[in-house]
Structure 1
Amino acid sequence: MELNDVDLNLLLVFNELLIERRVARVADKLGLTQPSVSNALSRLRKTLDDELFIRTSNGMEPTPYASQLAEPISSALSTIRNSLNQQAVFAPATSTRKFTISAADVGEVYFLPALMDKLAQVAPGVSLKTVPNTTVNLRETMEAGQIDLAIGLLPQLKAGFFQRSLLHQDYVCMFREGHPLQGKKISLKQFCEADHVVVSAPGTGHSKMDEMIERKGIRRNIRLTVPHFVAVGHILSTTDLLATVPERYAMACRVPFKLAYVKHPVVLPRIGINIFWHAKVHKEPGNQWLRNLIAELFSDSKAA
């Protein structure tokens, strides 16, 4: 006999009859009518070619064949029930899982030091890999499960993705400590006359800010263009160049590179940085844990 020959719902009735021995009790327990329970027993008798239960003064007594089936069917149903009800768990303290996060280099500078420090405390076996969000098809890569989380200003991640707001920030004007413009409110004229280093980062929120400055008709004296933020701190610390950077990046670089920053003379909109994940990992415990940890560390609201 094959499984597709048996309606598995009938086995639930069979198992309860073994326990209760009364049709009325089984019907009440399963939320069925007594005729429905009797009908189910009739169908199972026909399928298994055995009476299975005999009506006696003590209730429905199982036949030898039913008694033989009792333990394996009860065990199988219990296994199925436990499997369906089991909630997978993630134990950060003992896990050796490797997570992949997509973030721009400016995000890596701000997020990774504090995140790695926290992981060392609560999940010493967990490791991270970062992937630039401009070098992959982020949507397809996350759909394929190759990237667990993405952080940034990523309007292309809409249908099929969840997102959570982390923080909002302004753009500031940054330069070395001791710069002639330090301690002053920089005027638009001073901003335009100064020498600038610009980060060319197509497809990112930062590139949109540069485009906005250009659309306002503001012409900077751009002396250097670099493809990423990694070298900006080093460059500013030894030159009189200015850079337009996100405030959180400026906060992270100020002390290590002995830099200073002031309010930007150009009116620019605040940007929102979100954390994104694909719908298929929405309830995956490890993913839930990591994104909650990141929100705990960096969210403006510090909401769990």
Structure 2
Amino acid sequence: MELKDIDLNLLVVFHQLLVDRRVSKAASSLGLSQPGVSNALARLRRLTDDQLFLRTPNGMEPTPYAQQLAGPTASALQVIHAAINQKASFDPSTSKRAFTVGMTDIGEIYFLPKLMKEVARLAPNVSISTVRNTAVNLQDEMEAGHVNLAIGLLPQLKAGYFQRRLFRQQYVCMFRRGHPLDKKTVSLSEFSSADHVVVISAGTGHGNADEILGRKKVARKVVLTVPHYVAVGHILHDSDLVATVPERLAQALAGPFELSYIRHPAKLPEIAINLFWHGRFHKDPAITWLRSLIVGLHGEGAPD
């Protein structure tokens, strides 16, 4: 027997007969006629090839097979009923929801400290996992609901996705405090003459800065290339290297690593950092809550 062959209403009648043990009482409970309940029982008997209920002086007694079906059927109907009638609400103070957010290493450095502090305050039982936007098929994973939100410069997320602008930012020139370039302005010539660390952050959109510098024929003495931004703070703190990084990352690294940053001497375009979610989950109350929390903490106009 396949599920497509079963009318859900038949299972509702079956469950009510288990409760009431009389056709007349089950019909009254369901608001059906007695012939309607009898007809449903006859259809169920044909589908299951079992009598299901036997008439006795004490009412309709379930067969062993009916008793076997009783528990799973009741549980399934309860789940369906709860799903259909659940209210669109989310209580962060009691929820144990686990969220997954796609972001880069820059995102983890910049977004997570504030976010996790607020999650601990507002939703102590909620957990968050992060995945690299480039490590999974982000479009498929978000459509399937495995990744709930994504943050970054993600031009590949278009049809079927909602997005909310968090902020626009510039690229800056960053180095240790006391570096020869640690002054109000730096010329393009001084920038080019310095030793540079370059981050090849494939698939994130931040590679555009290096491409633009190349098109502008801005020469750099690149002495170190790394695949991510995680170690940049450590590297700059203990060297005379210079890095081109997004401004929000520079803000996050400056204090802990005693770094300075200035307006970039090359004219690089601003970049937009957006929050993305799939249209299937646009009204999911839990995801709506997390979106609002992120926007409140990191959107334009959010307090520092």
Q: What TM-score bracket applies, with the shorter chain setting the length?
A: 0.7 to 0.9
Give the match's secondary structure for 1:286. Answer: helix
Answer yes or no: is 1:72 the counterpart of 2:30: yes
Residue 254 (structure 2) pairs with residue 254 (structure 1)? yes
Question: What is the match of residue 91 of structure 1?
Answer: 91
Q: CA 1:84–1:141 in 2, change beyond 3 Å: closer, same or farther? A: closer
Residues of 1 paired with 2:180 and 2:159: CA distance? 49
Is residue 131 of structure 1 aligned with residue 131 of structure 2?
yes
Decide whether aligned partners of structure 1 residues 72 and 108 sit closer, same or farther in structure 2, where only a CA change above 3 A counts: same
How far does residue 66 in structure 1 lie from its aligned partner after superposition? Answer: 9.6
The aligned residue for residue 201 of structure 1 is 201
Residues in 1 aligned to 2:133 and 2:26: alpha-carbon distance in whole angstroms: 60
| Cα separation, 1, equivalents of 2:9 and 2:110 | 60
- Give 3-state SS (helix, strand or coil) of 1:182's partner: coil
Q: Distance in 2 between matches of 1:212 and 1:267?
A: 9
1:168-211 CA distance string (max 9 Å, x none): 10100000011111123010000000000000111112111111
Q: CA deviation at 1:123?
A: 0.6
How far does the alpha carbon of each residue in 1:34-58 deviate from its partner, in whole angstroms, 9 at most, with x for none? xxxxxxxxxxxxxxxxxxxxxxxxx
Q: CA deviation at 1:84?
A: 5.2
Deviation string, structure 1 residues 85-119 (Cα, Å, up to 9, x no partner): 64232111111111111001011100000001111
Match of 2:285 in 1: 285
- Rate the CA distance shift 1:72–1:114 in 2: closer, same or farther, 3 A: same
Task: Report the residue type matching 2:111 in the other structure.
Answer: F
2:170 maps to amino acid: D
- CA deviation string 1:54-98 (max 9, x = no partner): xxxxxxxxxxx9998454239xxxx99997564232111111111
Give the alignment of 1:34-45 within 5 angstroms.
Answer: none
Partner of 2:140: 140
In the superposition, the TM-score normalised over structure 2's length comes to: 0.73
Residues 1-304 of structure 1: pairs in structure 2 closer than 5 A: 69-73=27-31, 86-302=86-302
Equivalent residue of 1:178, what SS? Answer: coil
Change over 3 Å in CA distance of 1:71–1:188 after alignment to 2: same
Matched residues in 1 for 2:9 and 2:144: separation? Answer: 37
Quickly say closer, same or farther: Cα 1:219–1:71, change in 2 above 3 A.
Answer: same
Count the aligned residue pairs. 240
Give the match's secondary structure for 2:206. helix
Residue number in structure 2 paired with 1:61: none
In structure 2, the partner of 1:27 is none
Unaligned runs of 5+ in 2: 1-5, 11-22, 33-77
Counterpart of 1:13 in structure 2 is none
Report the secondary structure of 1:110's partner residue.
helix
Q: 1:219 to 1:123 in 2, by over 3 A?
A: same
What's 2:64 paired with? none
How far did residue 144 of structure 1 move?
1.8
Instruction: Read off the aligned partner of 1:188 and give its amino acid letter.
Output: L
